[in-house]
Amino acid sequence: MNKLLEWPKISIALLALPAVLLIGLPLVAAVWLIITILTQNGSQDWLLFLSVGSVLTGLVYSIALAIIPTLLALYSAFWLLARMTKPPAWMAALLAIPHVAFAIGLSLLLLPGGWISRVWLGLDLQLQIPLLTPFLSAIFTDKSLPFLLVTLWLKELPFLLLMALIVMQQLPVREWQQVGASFGYRAPQTFWRIIVPQLVRRLRLPIMVVAIYGLAVVDVALVAGPNLPSPLAVQVLQWYQQPGSELFAALGSVVLLVASALVLLLFRGHEWLHGQCARLAVTRGVNIAGQATLPSFVQGPGIARLRKFLAQLPFAAFLVVQIATVIALLLWSFTAAWPNTALLPTSYSVANWQWEWQPLQEVLWNSLWIGVVVASLATVLVLLMLEWEYQRGKRIADAYMLLPLLVPQLPLVMAWHMHVAPFTLAAPAFWLVWAHTVFAAAYIWLTLAASYRNFPNMWLTQAATLGYSAPQRWFKVRLRMLAAPIVLAWSVGFSVSILQYLPTLIFGAGRILTVTTEATAYGSGFERSLAAIYGLAQIAWPLIMFVVAAILANKYRVHTIRGA
Amino acid sequence: MLQLNNVVITLKGAKQPMLEVPQLSIAAGEIVVLMGASGSGKSTLLNWLIGAPLPNFQCTGEVLLHGAPIQQLPMEQRHIGIRLQQPWLFPHLTVLENLLFALPRDFGSRHQRVQHAEHLLTAFNLFAVQKQLPDTLSGGQAARVSLARALINNPQAMLLDEPFSALDKATREQIKTFTFNHLMQAQLPCLLVTHDSGDCPTGARVIHV
C-alpha cells in the first residue's frame, strides 16, 4: 500500500475500536448466554421444555418459514429474470415497504374480506358458481401458516430479485447468452444452465439472511401467522415477557440458535445440490433435435411482439401485487363503510386519521429521530471500520460484520438484554439506539463495503501529489467521490432502523413506541382501518428517505474535485 | 456456403448507412476477412448474422446458409458458431464440461460424448487440462478450448470477431495458425473481422470496409 495515503495508525485504530465493540459486545453476550444455559441446565429442564406441546410444532413452523419462502422467493426471482428484459429502475423502491406494512397490506388483499377475495366472491356470485372463493378461504383462513408463508415469499421476492440483478451486472450475461445461442440453446435454457448456478453461489449471503429472518420472524408472524401454536420465535418472546417463564425463553432461544445452524447447513447443501444438478444438465448437451421449430405463421414480427408481451406478464403481475398492497392500505385508512359484497368502499372519511393523529405524531417523531441517529451513527462506524481495514491492508471478515444477520435476532437481542437489563431502565433510548445500530450497521456494510473497497487508489495518489494531507484526501477525495453510495447506504440504515421490532420492544420496554411496534400491535388485532394507518405510517419514512437519498445520490454522482 | 445479399446496417436515426455489403459468398473451407477501422460496423454485422438483438441499429438484407434464408430464425436455430475477442469459457465448468455443454445431446450415450470430447481435446493438445477450470488456463489454452467448444457443436458456418487481439504476440502467431488449420479442416465458411492486417490468413480474400 502507498504509505503516502495512510492516516496515523494509532488514531484510526482508536476510532475503529468503538465500532468493533459495538458489534462484538452483543455477540459475546449471546455466546455467554448459550454457555450459561448449557452448563447450568440439566436434562430435567430440557425434558420439561420439550414436553410442552407447542414447542415441537412451533419449531417445525419456524423451520418451514426459513426454508419454504426462501426457496420460493429465490426460484420465482430466477423464473422472472429468465423472462424479463429490463426491470424498471423504481423497483428498488419496493424494498422501502417494510415487512409488517406489507403483511398488513397483503392481509387486506387476500384474507376473507380483503380486496382480492371480494373480487372472487363477486365473480362467483355473478356466475353463480363457486369458483375460487372456497379455495381462497380454505388456504387463506384468517392468519394461518399458509398465509404467513405466502407473505414472506412475496416480501422476500423483490429483495432476492434485486440482489440477483446486482450480481448479474457483474457477470458477462450478454456474451454467455450469445455463446449459448450459437450452440443452439434458447435464452432461458442458457439462463438456467449457466447463469443460475453462478447466481445461487454468489447469492449465498442474501439467501442465508432471508432464511434466518424467516426462522426467527416475530413481527410478521404476529400480523399474519397462526396463533395456536405460534412459530417458536413468537413463543420464545411470549415466554420472555411472561414473568416466571424466563427459563423456557432461554432454552427456546438455544433451540432457535441450533435450528439456525441447521438451516444454514441445509442451504449450503442446497447450493451444492443445485451445482451438481446444473453440472448434470450442462454435460447432457444441447437438445437441438428436440427443439420445436415454430410454424411459419407464428414467426412474424407481430407474433414475436405478442410473445414478448406475454413473457412480461408474470413480472407485471408481481408488480401489481406489490403495489396493490399499498393501495389496499390507502383505501382502508380512508374507509368509513365497506360492505362485504362491495368491490370498493361505499363511503370514505378522514375521521380515522383525525382520531389517530395525536398518537401517530408521537410514534412518527420517535421513529424519525431514532432512524436518523441510528443511520448516521452506523454509517460513521462502518466508514471507520472500512478505513481501518484499508489502513491495515487486511480485510475484516464480512462474516463478523454480518453476523447479526446470520444469527436469529431474538436470541441475540434477548441475551444482550438479559445482561444489561438493570441499566436499560435508566436510559432505554441509549440501549435502543445501540441495538438498532448493530443491525443497521450490518446492512450498511452489505451496501457500502464493495464500493469502498473498490475505490481506485489512483485518485488518492493524485491528491497526495497535489499536496493534500491524509485527512484532506479522505474528506475531499474519498468521501466526496463515494458520496452517492454513502447516501444510499445511509437510507438503507434508516429503513432498517424503522423496521426493527424486537430491539424496540425489548429495550424500549413500552416506553418508546415506534411506527413498527404500533403497526405490529394493530396489525395483529382486528381493527383494519387502524392497522392500515400504521402500515402506511411505517412505509412513509423509509419511502421519503429513499426518494431523498436517490435524488442526492444522483446529484453527488458527479465526480468533481475542487483545488486544495 | 454462407451468402449475404444487399445487407445494409444503419445506426438508428442516422441518414447514411454504417456498413453495406451488396453481395458476398463464402464457400465451405474458405475464410473471408472483413477489414476496417473501429466503429465501421464489422462487429455489428457479425452480431446481426448470429441473430443477437440490436436495438440501436436497423439491419436489412438477406442471409443464406446453404441456400436457406436464416435471418428470421432465432439465434439458437441458426447453427452459426462465433469466436469473440475473449474466449468466454464458463468459469464454473471444467474444460471438459465446457465442451460437453456445446455437444448436441443426440450425439450418443454419456460415455460416447465424453470420449468424443476427449478425442477433440487430445487433437487440440488440451487433454491434460480437461479437468481444470478456465481461470487456471493460459491465454493460448483458453483460446484453443474456445475453438474446440465452437467446433464440437458442429456449426454450419463460423464467425470470428478479432479472435486473436487478446493474446500476446508469441501466442498469437501460434493460435492463428492453429485456428486457421482447424477451420480449413472443418470445411466451414468463415467470416473473420479485424482491424489488424496481421490477423489475415495467407491467401485469404480480404474485403475492406
pLDDT in tens, A404-454: 888 898 988 888 888 777 777 778 889 899 899 999 999 999 888 888 988
Helix (H, G, I), strand (E, B) or coil at A85: coil
pLDDT of residue A62: 95
* Residue linked to cell 495458425: B177
Structural domain tally of chain B? Answer: 1
Range B66-86 average pLDDT: 86
Angle in degrees, CA A125, A127, A131, rounded to 5: 80
What is the side-by-side strand order in the sheet with B57-65?
A: B19-26, B2-11, B57-65, B68-69
Look at residue B135 and tell me if it is in a domain: yes
pLDDT of the residue at A548: 92
Distance CA B36, CA A527 (A): 72
Instruction: Judge contact between A366 and A512, C-beta under 8 A.
Output: yes
Q: Answer yes or no: do A288 and B104 touch at CB < 8 A.
A: yes
In this structure, what CATH number is given to the domain that contains residue B83?
3.40.50.300
Q: Is 50 exceeded by the pLDDT of residue A564?
A: no
pLDDT by residue (tens digit) across B166-207?
788 878 888 888 888 888 888 999 999 998 888 888 888 998
**Reported confidence tier of residue A559, pLDDT bands at 50, 70, 90:** very low
Looking at mean pLDDT, say which of A15-19, A448-452, A510-514, B126-130 comes out highest: B126-130
Residue A215 near residue A411, CB atoms below 8 Å: no
Helix (H, G, I), strand (E, B) or coil at B97: helix
- Find the domain containing B201 and state its range: 28-51+73-208
How do the domains of chain A map onto residue ranges? 52-284
CA geometry: angle at A370 spanning A434 and A446, to 5°? 65
Residue at grid coordinates 439458437: B76
**A100 near A501, Cβ under 8 Å?**
yes
Run of H or E residues at A307: helix A301-333
User: Would you state the pLDDT for residue A562?
Assistant: 39
Predicted confidence at residue A7, as pLDDT, reads 61
Tell me if A178 and B106 make a contact (CB, 8 A cut-off): no
Contact A291 B77 (CB under 8 A): yes
Flag whether residue B109 sits within 8 Å of chain A, measured between CB atoms.
Answer: no
How far apart are the C-alpha atoms of A493 and A549, rounded to whole Å? Answer: 12
Using CB atoms within 10 Å of the CB of residue B90, give its burial: 0 to 12 exposed, 13 to 18 middle, 19+ buried: buried
DSSP state of B165: T
Classify domain A52-284 by CATH number: 1.10.3720.10
Higher pLDDT, A134 or A94: A94
Amino acid occupying residue B96:
L
The pTM is what? 0.81
Q: Is B14 among the domain residues?
A: no
For residues A6-24, give the mean pLDDT. Answer: 67
CA–CA separation, A107 vs A122, rounded Å? 18
Q: Which three cell numbers stand for residue B94?
A: 471444467
Q: B65-73: list long-range contacts, CB under 8 Å, 24+ apart.
A: B65/B1, B65/B2, B65/B3, B65/B156, B65/B157, B66/B1, B66/B156, B67/B1, B67/B3, B72/A299
DSSP H/E element including A376: helix A351-392
Nearest alpha-carbon partner for A112 in A70, A139, A141, A90: A141
Contact A265, A67 (CB under 8 A): no
pLDDT at A65: 96
Nearest to A176 among B90, B113, B150 (CB): B90
Tell me the chain B residues in contact with residue A183 when contact means C-beta distances shorter than 8 Å. Answer: 76, 81, 101-102, 153
Is A182 in Cβ contact with B113 (below 8 Å)? no
Q: Which range (A37-46, A197-206, A306-315, A319-328) has the least confidence? A: A37-46
C-alpha span between B176 and B169 (Å, rounded): 11
Average pLDDT over residues A160-182: 88
Q: Which of B60, B85, B101, B130 to mutate to probe the A interface, most A CBs <10 Å?
A: B101
The residue-averaged pLDDT of B138-162 equals 89
Number of Cβ within a 10 Å radius of residue B138: 12
Q: Look at strands B2-11 and B57-65 and give their pairing.
A: antiparallel
Band of pLDDT at residue A170, cut at 50, 70 and 90: confident
Q: How far apart are CA A92 and CA A78, in angstroms?
A: 17
Counted across chains A and B, CB pairs separated by less than 8 A come out at: 100
Distance CA A528, CA A333 (A): 8
**Residue A442 near residue A401, CB atoms below 8 Å:** yes
Predicted pLDDT at A137:
67
| CA–CA dist A457, B99 (Å, integer) | 40
| The 3-state secondary structure of A189-207, one letter per residue | HHHHHHHHHHHHHHCHHHH
Nearest CA in chain B to A293: B77
A64 pLDDT tier (thresholds 50, 70, 90): very high
Tell me which of A41 and A502 has the higher pLDDT: A502
- Helix, strand, coil % in chain A, rounded to nearest 5: 80, 0, 20
Q: Which helix (H) or strand (E) holds B31?
A: strand B31-35
| Residue predicted with more confidence, A379 or B196 | A379
Distances (CA, A) of A35 to A29, A96, A203, A403: 10, 38, 32, 18
Contact assessment for residue B33 and residue B176, using Cβ atoms and an 8 Å cutoff: no
Question: Which strands, in side-by-side order, build the sheet including B157-161?
Answer: B80-83, B157-161, B190-194, B31-35, B205-208
What is the average per-residue pLDDT within B48-59? 86
Kindly report the average pLDDT of chain A as a whole number: 84
Q: Find out whether B78 and B48 touch, Cβ atoms under 8 Å.
A: no
- For residue A263, the model assigns a pLDDT of 96
Q: Which amino acid, A564? A: A
Assess contact for B165 and B197: CB atoms under 8 A.
no
CA distance, residue A447 to nearest chain B CA (Å): 26
Distance between CA atoms of residues B49 and B42, nearest Å: 11
CA atoms B44, B45, B49, B55: torsion sign: positive
Give A39 or A563, the one with higher predicted confidence: A39
Cβ-Cβ contacts under 8 Å, B105 against chain A: 284-290
